[in-house]
Structure 1
């Protein structure tokens, strides 16, 4: 579905039919995330998956995970502006994101070497402390730009490209403005805009990272991670040095978090402390993991997709539900009374820009009534991972 999403979105939003005077195409525009929004879902989803990798599979909540995301983002911008010694501004983007991941891996080992001396809420607070130190440092580090508090952008470089270094035909530039677009792809008559190209390029990197994390989770190393989550004392009793396993998991998680940040910087071509190192960036990952399902990995991506889905519906932009209702409903309906409100006042107060309100309510509801999250609950219902149970059930119905 994700692979076909740009085509599904284009088809549904292009429908010219009307139902009860409402254009179906415009209705789908309100309820379906735009393709460029799906690019955001992918790289934030990768960051949320990296958070779930360590927190969902070892049980240690890292409240400072945004630090590794920010390291990846700022490393890309610093290389792009020629401020990293030994790396010219023209360094291939794929090499940059790997180096960003390695740098974050080393930073995670340093942070984890101190933090994993503690457990529970104390571990979470120590990681948060490290992240806040990094946040303050980057806000005042003049080397990154003349006004680091407002962020810094890449000027002069002709976009960052995902692909195989050295092969120009397999390089696809990211970005809504500087990205590549293609007409009549492979003679199929299908045109891909910059948003669609970025969606597939970023999606390819996210998919590789997802498979890598899945492979680690299903390895003997990953089994020890789960054992630590379930009963760390028992894991130690059977001979595992849990400190090194936790430290390794934390480093791997930081590596993939930095790749998510690097994709963000490559797509946006600019970074700021508030959208990289800030505590609320980690909060977005925590929210996505809880809604999607802790300890499911892929659930974090779908949790953030759900977040963006609500944001799109309740946005104040032209594609939001409030603007759609104000433009579609007649003056008589808008002026009609609903209790002490008119319909128009109700829309302005309870719908327009109220995504965070309803997201908070839904978050509380998930914690209370769906603690396993969307994907975790589906797995419980079906009796195993969807990749195994869904094909089996389909074969059963097709016989």
Structure 2
């Protein structure tokens, strides 16, 4: 679930630019990797002006600023194009960065072992208010921190979940605020009809560049959370183009142009993969069938030498990605608005607006009639 939170934030940053301006950023992994590598490099003392004692929250912001600069550089060239050409040129920029980082010995913990980055922050990867020890908790898949809340002890996994979730929630509200501002309304105008937006006087080039920089900032925050939780980063796990592909998958399943939808889309994706995985650590289908059917039922011949157990293994063992692909195709064909988008269509708006209207209807004062006074 911690993975769902930080990658869901990355998918939301992808939806911020792609779903609200209509410009598909296939190179969005560049920002995710920038945030991840900045956090680890700062922790290892490899970024000038930032010692190893730099608080994790500062490292996150530094990674975000670097991503903004990178987004401006990429956007200055890319936004001179549109449609599939914009998507491909951003993908090209990301692949160039991927190859560059993979072969750069300076960012490798040990060049002989390959271009991986590792390290442990002396003060811990702590989320909170820098300088106030009581308001900081370290995250990490292996070296997290325990906490006691209202007499209940939370393990390192739970602490990581809540602290990463706190940052992801804050970033979501920040992006939501931007989308509901006049700036966000221009983003929507660009998506619906850019020529009309230009005709009424908006410099859409600058607005697109600003939206791209904002999305890059939050994408880097997500990458920094990933690196802080995993305590390492590699080009394959951050800069590779399939990272953007996973964000695209989450956005389509959750709903383009919904902001929160990609988070639910990635949760759905991870749930299906877990349910159909080999191990099924969360209670997958394959372990359930093996335990529920029993050895005698699994040994039942189906045809020839094939037993029921062999058939189940053939259909389920290691084929989670195949079934996720089938689900993805079904969503594109029959649920084009995604999970959250379809729900919003059914209720006639956002869930918050629908709940507010329902609450007002239930608590509204009945209209007075002439006979009420009598």
TM-score (norm 2): 0.92
**What's the secondary structure of 2:130's corresponding residue?**
coil
Q: 1:149–1:272: 8 Å Cα contact kept in structure 2? A: no
Unaligned runs of 5+ in 2: 365-374
Question: 1:67 corresponds to which residue?
Answer: 30
The answer to whether the aligner puts 1:262 opposite 2:224 as a matched pair is yes
Q: 1:111 to 1:137 in 2, by over 3 A?
A: same
Question: 2:369 corresponds to which residue?
Answer: none
For 1:42 and 1:388, the matched residues in 2 are separated by: 24
The answer to whether the aligner puts 1:77 opposite 2:40 as a matched pair is yes
For 2:362 and 2:291, the matched residues in 1 are separated by: 45
For 1:338 and 1:379, the matched residues in 2 are separated by: 46
Moved more, 354-363 or 284-293: 354-363
Question: 1:88 corresponds to which residue?
Answer: 51
Displacement of 1:47 in angstroms is 0.3
Displacement of 1:336 in angstroms is 2.3
Equivalent of 1:251, from 207, 210, 213?
Answer: 213
The answer to whether the aligner puts 1:196 opposite 2:158 as a matched pair is yes
Residue correspondence of structure 1 range 355-370 to structure 2 within 5 A: 355-370=320-335
Residue correspondence of structure 1 range 110-129 to structure 2 within 5 A: 110-129=73-92
- Per-residue Cα deviation, 1:281-307 (whole angstroms, up to 9, x for no partner): 000000000000000000000000001
Question: 1:35 corresponds to which residue?
Answer: none
Q: 1:321–1:352: 8 Å Cα contact kept in structure 2? A: no
Equivalent of 1:159, from 124, 129, 141?
Answer: 124
Question: 1:331 corresponds to which residue?
Answer: 295
Q: 1:109–1:247: 8 Å Cα contact kept in structure 2? A: yes
Unaligned runs of 5+ in 1: 1-37
For 2:114 and 2:212, the matched residues in 1 are separated by: 28
Q: 1:235 to 1:136 in 2, by over 3 A?
A: same
- Per-residue Cα deviation, 1:60-91 (whole angstroms, up to 9, x for no partner): 00000000000000000000000011101110
- Per-residue Cα deviation, 1:104-128 (whole angstroms, up to 9, x for no partner): 0010000000000001000011000
Question: 2:63 corresponds to which residue?
Answer: 100
For 1:315 and 1:107, the matched residues in 2 are separated by: 37
For 2:121 and 2:332, the matched residues in 1 are separated by: 47
Displacement of 1:224 in angstroms is 0.4
Residue correspondence of structure 1 range 225-240 to structure 2 within 5 A: 225-240=187-202
Question: 2:314 corresponds to which residue?
Answer: 349
Q: 2:24–2:86: 8 Å Cα contact kept in structure 1? A: yes
Pairs aligned (count): 359
For 1:164 and 1:236, the matched residues in 2 are separated by: 43
Question: 1:41 corresponds to which residue?
Answer: 4
- Per-residue Cα deviation, 1:6-45 (whole angstroms, up to 9, x for no partner): xxxxxxxxxxxxxxxxxxxxxxxxxxxxxxxx00000000
Residue correspondence of structure 1 range 302-317 to structure 2 within 5 A: 302-317=264-279
The answer to whether the aligner puts 1:371 opposite 2:336 as a matched pair is yes
For 1:334 and 1:390, the matched residues in 2 are separated by: 49
Question: 1:57 corresponds to which residue?
Answer: 20
Q: 1:235 to 1:337 in 2, by over 3 A?
A: farther
Equivalent of 2:253, from 291, 305, 327?
Answer: 291
What value does the CA root-mean-square deviation take over the aligned residues? 1.6
Question: 2:346 corresponds to which residue?
Answer: 381
**What's the secondary structure of 2:147's corresponding residue?**
coil
Moved more, 57-66 or 141-150: 141-150
Q: 1:318 to 1:123 in 2, by over 3 A?
A: closer
For 1:196 and 1:239, the matched residues in 2 are separated by: 50
**What's the secondary structure of 1:353's corresponding residue?**
coil
TM-score (norm 1): 0.87
Q: 1:48 to 1:235 in 2, by over 3 A?
A: same
